[in-house]
């Protein structure tokens, strides 16, 4: 069975600085990987996903993530954050042995300091 670990519950960063949100997963089979963003009082929006192919995945709003199979990681990065990026970010994984249900990390709150 899979599990997802988001090591940081909160990440404070200054505006226009780079940011990395960490996500590690455990699985014995091939996985699909996702990052979702949830702005205050809203639903979840897909930022990006890794299904196969290139390990560097580009998403919306200038975010990208890199799939690292050997380290079982899928960290999310942005070179320069804005106040509008303040949100909760969830990493999720799905795989055949769990019927492709999404397994969620606990979430990381990104706090942008002016």
Partner 1 sequence: DTEVTQTPKHLVMGMTNKKSLKCEQHMGHRAMYWYKQKAKKPPELMFVYSYEKLSINESVPSRFSPECPNSSLLNLHLHALQPEDSALYLCASSQTQGGYGYTFGSGTRLTVV
Residues forming the site for partner 1 (CB under 8 A): 32, 34, 36, 41-46, 49, 51, 88, 90, 92, 94, 99-102, 104-107, 109
Is 15 or 107 the residue whose CB approaches partner 1 more closely?
Answer: 107
- CA 107: distance to chain centroid? 9
Is 40 or 114 the residue whose CB approaches partner 1 more closely?
Answer: 40
Provide the 3-class DSSP secondary structure of residue 98.
Answer: helix
Is 43 or 114 the residue whose CB approaches partner 1 more closely?
Answer: 43
User: CA distances (Å), 72 to each of 15, 44, 85, in order?
Assistant: 29, 24, 26
């Amino acid at each position: 069975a899979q599990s997802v670990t988001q090591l940081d519950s909160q990440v404070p960063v200054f505006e226009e600085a780079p940011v990395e949100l960490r996500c590690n997963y455990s699985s014995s089979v091939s996985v699909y990987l996702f990052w979702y963003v949830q702005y205050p009082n809203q639903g979840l929006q897909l930022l990006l996903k890794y299904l196969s192919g290139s390990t560097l995945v580009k998403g919306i709003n200038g975010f990208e993530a890199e799939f690292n199979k050997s380290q079982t990681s899928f960290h999310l990065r942005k070179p320069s954050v804005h106040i509008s990026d303040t949100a909760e970010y969830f990493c999720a994984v799905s795989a055949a042995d769990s019927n492709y249900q999404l397994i969620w990390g606990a979430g990381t709150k990104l706090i942008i300091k002016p």
